Amino acid sequence: MPRLQLLRPGHAPALLAFESENRAYFAASIPDRGDEYFAHFAARHEELLAEQATGLCFFHLLVESDGEVLGRFNLVDVADGRAELGYRVGERAAGRGLATAGVRQVCALAATEYGLTGLHARTTLDNTASRAVLARTGFTPRGEVELSGRPGLRYERSLADEAVRRLR
């Protein structure tokens, strides 16, 4: 069973493989990371770890028992008890409920481990899978946005329900 893990240095090779193998798949629904991302991946990985160490971001990987990365679930721009959620699940893992499960897990971590009270997320209108995941996990549409020139929606979710579960 896949497990959500906080990003660490040893994840770099599997994460690069995940991003490389899924590049075209992801580019069909979200902006491509660009050649520079892949050319300088090791430096970027170190930057993410340094940023995570500040507490301003929390990067999570959904990892299979053999170490294969199946998805990413990130909390970025942490401030005033809130953060932005971003996630992606690879093509081979799509359709198995892993995005929904991963978002639920990271919401629980956001409330119980990181002390956050709310999250927001954005997705393009044509990314129906992502919109469905957000709806299934308690996010509510809160307005229109533009993402790399494409129309999208902004979503929000209170984490009060997660905090209540923690108290039980």
- What gap in Å lies between CA 21 and CA 66, rounded to an integer? 17
Mean pLDDT of the residues in the chain: 92
Give the pLDDT of residue 163. Answer: 54
Evaluate if pTM is beyond 0.75: yes
Give residue 97's domain range: 3-167
Rounded to 10 deg, the angle between the 160-167 and 98-112 helix axes is: 70
Q: In the chain, how many domains are there?
A: 1
Radius of gyration of the chain (CA): 15
Q: What is the pLDDT of residues 11-51, one digit of tens each?
A: 999 999 999 999 999 888 777 788 888 899 999 999 999 99
A 10 A CB-CB count for 47 gives 11
Tokens matching residue 153: 């929606």
Task: Give the domain CATH number at 140.
Answer: 3.40.630.30
